[in-house]
Amino acid sequence: DHWQKFANLRLLFTWMWTYPGKKLLFMGGEFGQEREWNHDNSLDWHHLDDPLHRGVKDVIRDLNRLYTSTPALYARDTEGAGFEWLVADDQDNSVIAWARKGAQSGEVAIVVSNFTPVPREGYRIGVPQAGFYREAFNSDAEGYGGSNVGNYGAVTADGPGWDDQPHSLALVLPPLVLAGFGVAPSTFSVNSCAGPAATLWAAAARSDTTGAVVELQEYLDLPQLPHRIECYDISHVQGTN
């Protein structure tokens, strides 16, 4: 299945970027070169004419931005206290989830992966903090060649305690996906729009906030917009999918 092959590749790269440890990317991997590397020939750059190959390239670009702008993904990379399993025993659904933690209080990134081609509705995971979680990355986003299933850019941890955690999230898990969520306000951010829905709105939440930013702030019922979060998916505000 050609689509699943690329979905698995996007899942693999996102796993590597969000899991502890250093990253390895061989030349050509950044756009999904299909043939073995040959030192006598150039890379197959013409693959970028294919939207699925181009989607892999965009995944790598956005993961690099996500990684460098999210201290929870690197600040305590070699410390046990910087990592916590959230779901590690759900072999029936092939779902794995973990939390990455930065050096500062509130620097938390929640990572959830679905290793099957079956979407899962209302999948609940426990999380260490209550509040509003922004869906900062979704490897199933339409712009990457995915099926565009997701959580409309955000979800609130308002559920009961779950799996030894004090709070929980009820999530929509796309097929063959790895998604990252950050507590807002926090430093968990991505500098380019890569949300699960087709309509994205970029907002620089600085002192010169526009009326649209204020409107979004009120809609999300936030006291203030996290100053380092630059992308919001507001397709649910506009009533589009």
Element (H, E) at 214: helix 211-219
* Average predicted confidence (pLDDT) for the chain: 78
**Given phi > 0 = left and psi -120 to 50 = alpha, else beta, which region is 156?**
beta
Helices first, then strands: H and E counts in the chain: 4, 10
> Which amino acid, 46?
H
134-164, pLDDT tens digit by residue?
889 999 999 999 999 988 888 888 878 999 9
67-121, pLDDT tens digit by residue?
999 999 999 999 999 999 999 999 999 999 999 999 988 889 999 999 999 999 9
172-186, pLDDT tens digit by residue?
999 998 888 886 543
Q: What is the pLDDT of residue 73?
A: 95
10 within 8 A of 60, measured Cβ to Cβ: no
Q: What is the pLDDT of residue 227?
A: 33
- For residues 78 and 238, the model is more confident at 78
Alpha-carbon distance of 236 to 119, in angstroms, equals: 20
141 within 8 A of 195, measured Cβ to Cβ: yes
